[in-house]
Amino acid sequence: MESSLPADVRHLVVGAGFAGLCTAIKLDEDGEGDFLVVEKGPDVGGTWRDNTYPGAACDVPSQLYSFSFAPNPDWSMSFSPQPEIQAYLRRVARESGVLDRFAFDTVVESASWDDATRTWTTVTSAGTVTSQTLVVGAGGLSEPRLPDIEGIEEFGGHLFHSARWDHDVDLAGTRVAVIGTGASAIQIVPELQKVAAHLDVYQRTAPYVMPRHDRRYTRLERLAFRHVPGLQKLYRTAIYWGRETYVPGFTRRPGLLAPARRMALANLHKAVSDPDLRARLTPEFEIGCKRILISNAYYPAVAADDVELVTDAITRVTPTGIVTADGTERPVDVIVVATGFHTTDLPIAERIHGRGGASLADTWAGTGMNAYKGTTVHGFPNLFVLVGPNTGLGHSSMVFMIESQVAYLRDAVRTMRAAGWAAVEPRAAAQARWNDALQRRMRRTVWNTGGCASWYLDAHGRNTVLWPRATFAFRRLLSRFDPAAYEVSTPATTPE
């Protein structure tokens, strides 16, 4: 197959979501414009391109959920709906002038480090590219996890995952089942309740749902954001510190969570008057152990007459319905599986091979996902993993974490250029120290002790997803590239 890609670039970036886009823009700003971004989908946006389900919106305030270098005075709501975030990312991509180096519909099949040439060779569906650095911004919540339920393949109606919504299916007047009650499901359920003839919500674990303090920005506010210098930045800073000073602290002092729990239960009490239904919607783990959800519409929707909350375990799916442990079969036309994503077993990790040929997935198989500063990995020179191990957040904006990682990457590239290094690779000891300290801290958090099973924990019960400290600590720790933690190598010499 003839390649439509350049054969060699200095930096290859995988993914065109917030992370890949930020990397491209900042590398370009630094005069490092010799890069290529490969993206498996047809557009920028990542998770915001993929999650088009009815009701999709961000549960982090709009002012914070945007690039610091590209504020948007035109957000319509304090929590942005998905189409606005996607339009924002498209606009930022277009205006930044980097899109000429994006290859869409291009899937990474494998990427391998070659120690002899100190380069990465990446095989994609559109051709092979070599590069000095490989930046992976493939997303932590990008690969849908489908439930392993007997008979699910034989279902005769429509079935799709929340992140792969089938907009060709007309749901009006149908019987719909939603499996799952996480952040995606609680946004989907109120929208489906409006159109479906009947809705079954299959709940395995009741979540905590807090009120959603969302509102439309007034025209005056939007004008002020646009024209009053510094106002939007001030607003953003206030929101940032409001979250930062309280939330990271409570993960280690469950007593601090009591008011949040009372607020969530009051939200439930206000919306659901039936004591039996309320009991079944009451969570049985410590608040904060799983992601705290926000919605004003979820409980009223579940309490509606045309909705049934099913708490008996699903045993199998038939061609026409879903059977639960009590033997009941509920007929259904459409099944929406809102069952989350591969988070601790990222499929992209199987395709990246480091020094010696082992894949990232094999390297992590015994230890769980881990990296130095959540970004670089021993055995994988010049690899930068954005939204890498232990960089996720439950309380604030991932865009802040991404910008911190990109700052680190830029400083690494600058340092390598200045020193004439061909490769940098974190020392095993530095990576182990970083992760031991993280896991020690993790043991006392509500995520590990709160009595729940969440997508933050891997098969061994290790939280390899979340950052357990304040986000400003992460930013400070990644503000400068730190060569002392790295083995460095000079360019390979070409034999005469």
Q: Which residues bind ligand N01 (CB under 6 A)?
A: 57-59, 141, 147, 149, 162, 179-185, 187, 202, 204-205, 291, 314, 338-341, 453, 455
Provide, rounded to whole angstroms, the least separation between the CB of residue 189 and ligand N01. Answer: 11
Token pair of 233 as six digits = 């930045």
Provide, rounded to whole angstroms, the least separation between the CB of residue 164 and ligand N01. Answer: 12
Provide, rounded to whole angstroms, the least separation between the CB of residue 64 and ligand N01. Answer: 12
Residue (82 or 132) nearer to ligand N01, CB:
82
Residue (141 or 485) nearer to ligand N01, CB:
141
Residue (179 or 323) nearer to ligand N01, CB:
179
Distance CA 131, CA 11 (A): 5
Residue (337 or 409) nearer to ligand N01, CB:
337
Which region, left, alpha or beta, applies to residue 448 given φ > 0 means left and ψ of -120 to 50 means alpha?
A: alpha
Q: Count Cβ atoms within 10 A of the Cβ of residue 492 and give its class: 0-12 exposed, 13-18 middle, 19 or more buried.
A: middle
Cβ pair 102, 5 in contact under 8 A: no
Residue 311 to residues 181, 329, 359, 446: CA-CA distances in angstroms? 11, 13, 40, 25
Provide, rounded to whole angstroms, the least separation between the CB of residue 456 and ligand N01. Answer: 9
Provide, rounded to whole angstroms, the least separation between the CB of residue 210 and ligand N01. Answer: 12
Distance CA 12, CA 24 (A): 10
Residue with tokens 């670089």: 376
Total count of residues recorded for the chain:
496
Cβ pair 403, 68 in contact under 8 A: yes
Provide, rounded to whole angstroms, the least separation between the CB of residue 46 and ligand N01. Answer: 12
**Cβ atoms < 10 Å from Cβ of 338:** 24
**Cβ atoms < 10 Å from Cβ of 413:** 23
Residue 183 to residues 203, 239, 296, 362: CA-CA distances in angstroms? 13, 21, 13, 30
Residue (115 or 150) nearer to ligand N01, CB:
150
Distance CA 374, CA 364 (A): 13
Residue (147 or 483) nearer to ligand N01, CB:
147
Helices and strands per DSSP (H, E), number in the chain: 14, 20
Residue (182 or 354) nearer to ligand N01, CB:
182
Estimate the crossing angle of helix 82-96 against helix 18-29, to 10 degrees. Answer: 20
Provide, rounded to whole angstroms, the least separation between the CB of residue 180 and ligand N01. Answer: 3
Provide, rounded to whole angstroms, the least separation between the CB of residue 92 and ligand N01. Answer: 19
Residue 413 CB contacts under 8 Å (≥ 6 apart), including other chains: 11, 27, 30, 32, 133
Residue (421 or 455) nearer to ligand N01, CB:
455
Provide, rounded to whole angstroms, the least separation between the CB of residue 401 and ligand N01. Answer: 13
Residue (383 or 393) nearer to ligand N01, CB:
393
